[in-house]
Copies of this chain bind each other. A is one copy, B any other.
Amino acid sequence: MNSFSPPSSLGPVDAVIAALRALLGDRLSTNDAIRQQHGRGEDTTTPTLPDAVAFAKTTAEVSEILRLCHQHEVPVTPFGAGTSLEGHVNPVRAGITLDLSHMTGILEVNAEDMDCLIEPGVTRQQLNEFLRDQGLFFPVDPGSVCTIGGMCATRASGTNAVRYGTIRENVLGLEVVLADGRVIHTGGRTRKGANGYDLTRLFIGSEGTLGVITRIRLRLHGIPEATSAAVCQFPTLADAVNSVITVMQLGIPVARIELLDEVQMAACIAYSKLEGYAPVPTLFLEFHGTEAGVTEQASAVEAITADHNGSGFAWAREAETRNRLWKARHDAYWAGIAYRPGKRGITTDVCVPISRLAEALLGAKADIEASGFEAPIVGHVGDGNFHTIILVEENNADEMERAWALDRKIVQRALDLGGTCSGEHGIGLGKREFLETEHGMEAIAVMRSLKTTLDPKGILNPGKMFRN
């Protein structure tokens, strides 16, 4: 499941390190602590160390780093905030880790066109802080402080995707440095275009294996006139899931509809000090629109939840209360981990058609209960996407084996229901075998041929996406 080749550079890394030191000065590090910080993300993969970490500040530097690594056939692993849950940032064949977190420029904000141009190291939190005074926001919000470059690379989404789409729908164009150092520009500033192959979408979700993203033109959205949030609690998980299915099938344009099972809710109550809520299956909801529209949506959803034995809505009317609620939701992963100190999480990320959500989610719950593991469930259920965070003792080989078996069972059921192995976390190391099952080997062969075309020496994030 989780194995990969031992570190072994493809080429003469020392020559590259010397050249990069000349280029970057002390932004090229071979320090052990720095290398260890870049050994893995937030997942349970086995860390591997790069030979050196290069902190780039400009596109020209990224280009030169890639040109050198390409020339010497040295692997390059792009790195943002290191929050991957699927082993994307592990430099499994050593070489250079290319850290883009210092590229934090917000280069343009065009309020009248609702777009902006940023560097890849900007986080969504930084961008939204910057935008607030202009009445604009960027909606894509994974549950971590991650870079927007990393979000592009992994085709991220989050709680708002049900209304505003994922990062795929919110990027207008990219600047990308290719494996050999060439720089290209994709997309443009318009909302649509029938203007050539969709290179933007090709790089989004390519997980650093086809090129390195150095600039991103994002689509922004106006802060809605009215926003209200609510919490609704249910006696059973089935009641909560069936409420979600009905809301989605009626086409009510909720901005957010998030489910937490009783284990996740208990974890969040403890971690985020959420007072007044019971550790039972719960929906967190948000409505965006005009004052009248928000009221209308909320009363429609409240009626549906009442039909499914939901409590009345507990309203979070003030911005401060809302922010606390959504902070708790975004911290759900950390709350899950903290629920059993010393454990780490193996996180599944399946996504299914909405009509199969009850089957997928209740099936996963039954599997978890049969397994004996504790595994909070939390999800962007409006999109049919949910996570189980299987809590494991990382050093217990037997437990890890059983946990991976549980993970595989949950993923396979989702695939059998017409779903995908990854709604938003990506393939990385952890989901490579499922990528094959899901798309079939003919489609995988096409993906591989694109990889070979754009990165003929295989230096870009080798070992990820495909089993070699």
Contact = CB atoms under 8 A, between A and B. Distances in A.
B192 A424 contact: yes
A421 to B, nearest CB: 6
Interface in A184-204: 184-186, 188-199, 201-202, 204
Given A190-B423, A194-B426, 5 more contacts: A115-B353, A194-B425, A197-B447, A201-B201, A202-B450
The 6 A-B pairs of least Cβ separation, nearest first, read: A201-B201, A222-B251, A112-B355, A155-B194, A113-B353, A193-B420
A190 B384 contact: yes
A178 to B, nearest CB: 7
A446 B187 CA distance: 13
A157 B192 contact: yes
Contacts of A110: 353, 355
A427 interface: yes
Interface string A295-328: 0100000000000000000000000000000000
10 contacts: A168-B192, A186-B443, A190-B423, A192-B351, A194-B422, A197-B202, A197-B205, A199-B443, A199-B446, A449-B453
A415 to B, nearest CB: 9
A437 to B, nearest CB: 11
A435 to B, nearest CB: 5
Contacts of A178: 446
A425 B450 CA distance: 26
B198 A205 contact: yes
A198 B199 CA distance: 10
B251 A194 contact: no
A440 interface: yes
Given A169-B169, A290-B296, A251 B221 contact: yes
Interface in A239-298: 249-251, 289-290, 292-293, 296
A446 B425 CA distance: 27
Contact of A189 (B251, B353, B465): B353
A192 B383 contact: yes
Nearest to A289: B293
A194 B205 contact: yes
A185 B431 CA distance: 19
A432 to B, nearest CB: 10
A378 interface: no
Contacts of A185: 439-440, 442-443
A251 B425 CA distance: 30
A409 B87 CA distance: 50
A157 B446 CA distance: 27
Interface in A89-146: 110, 112-115
A147 interface: no
A335 to B, nearest CB: 23
A331 interface: no
Contact of A193 (B292, B422, B447): B422
A166 interface: yes
B443 A192 contact: no
B439 A446 contact: no
Contacts of A195: 205, 420-422, 426-427, 431, 435, 438-439
A182 interface: yes
A156 interface: yes
A194 B154 contact: yes
A354 interface: yes
Contacts of A183: 442
A454 interface: yes
A338 to B, nearest CB: 26
A418 interface: yes
A206 interface: yes
